[in-house]
Amino acid sequence: MERENMVKSVSRALDIVTIVSMEREGVGVTEIAKQMDINKSSVYRILTTLAQYGYIEQDQETGRYKLGYKFLEVSSKLLDSIDLRTEAKPFLQELESETNEVIHLVVYDQGEVVYIEKLEGNQTLRMHSKVGKRAPMHCTSVGKAILAFLPLNTVTSILERKGLPAHTDHTITDEESFLRELSEVKQKGYALDLEENEYGITCIAAPIFDHLGQVVAAVSISGATMRMTNERLTYFQERMVDIGKNISERLGYKTESVKDKSLF
C-alpha cells in the first residue's frame, strides 16, 4: 500500500501487535516505544485500545503485554480454508493421477484468488503459480469460475478496483465481453483460461461452494496448450463440474446443483 494511503494509527497498532507477538514473555511499553521510536503515551493509548477489543492482554503481575485470545477467534476463520484443503486433497490427487497435469486449489480474497494448494503432476510445465501467491481473477480460469457466481454488484466493484489489464494478447479486456463470458461460465458450470494469463498455458476450472451456498474457492487443471486439446477440454468439462460439486458437498453444500445457481 502506498504510504500516503496508510492510516498512521492503524499502521502503528499493527506494528505493535507484531512486536508483542514476537515476545513469548510479553513486552513493556518502554521497550515498544524504543523499538518504534515513538513516545510511550502513544504506545500506551494504542495498547489500551487493543486490550479493550481483546487483541492484547496485560499481565497483572509483570505489567507486560501479550497477545489476547481474540486472535484465536479471528484465526479460526482463516482455519476454515485449511479445512477446505483437507477435504479437497483426495479429489485433487485423483485429478493429478488421472491427468498428470498441474492441479490448483484457490480461495477468493479481496478481489483476487490465493493459491492454497498446488499438485505438480508429472508433465513439464513452468507456471508462475505457487502456494500463497495471489493472482488476478479476470484472466485465470479459477478467478472466472468464482466471479461468475458472485453477486453482480460485487463483480462490478472488483472490476472497478482491479480493471481488466492485459496479461497476454488473449486476455479479455472489454468489460461487456467479460461479463458475457461470466454469464456463459455460470450456465456451463466451468471456466476456461485460453492463454489469457500466461502464454502456452491453458486451464479449466470449476467453482466450490460452502455450506451456505456461497462460492468460496475453485479447482483447476492447468496444462501446456499443445496438450490441452479441444477433445481433452471437452472431456474435462463434465469432470471438473463433478469434482467441484464433490468438494462442495464435503463442505456441506447440498441444496442445489452448481449449474442451477443463478446469482447474476
CB 120 within 8 Å of CB 104: no
Question: Does residue 256 register a pLDDT over 70?
Answer: no
Counting Cβ atoms within 10 Å, is residue 186 exposed (0-12), middle (13-18) or buried (19+)?
buried
- In the block, cell 453444500 appears at 253
pLDDT, greater one: 208 or 25: 208
Residues 158, 180: Cα–Cα separation, whole Å:
16
| 142: Cβ contacts below 8 Å, ≥ 6 apart | 104, 106, 113, 135, 191, 203, 205, 218, 219, 220
CB 118 within 8 Å of CB 104: yes
Q: What is the pLDDT of residues 157-184, one digit of tens each?
A: 999 999 999 999 999 999 999 999 999 9
Same domain, 71 and 173: no
- N- to C-terminal Cα separation, the chain: 32
Q: What is the pLDDT of residues 135-150, one digit of tens each?
A: 999 999 999 999 999 9
Same domain, 157 and 235: yes
Domain limit, last residue, from 27, 56, 76: 76
The share of the chain scoring above pLDDT 70, in percent, equals: 89
Question: Does residue 154 register a pLDDT over 80?
Answer: yes
Domain limit, last residue, from 24, 58, 76: 76
CB 102 within 8 Å of CB 221: yes
Does 2 map to a domain?
no
CB 148 within 8 Å of CB 226: no
83 falls in which pLDDT band (50, 70, 90)? confident
Domain that includes residue 143, residue range: 82-251
Same domain, 68 and 89: no
Residues 208, 215: Cα–Cα separation, whole Å:
6
Please state the domain count of the chain: 2
Q: What is the rounded average pLDDT for all residues in the chain?
A: 89
Same domain, 58 and 128: no
Note the pLDDT of residue 138: 96
Whole-model pTM over 0.75: no
Same domain, 168 and 223: yes
Same domain, 68 and 170: no
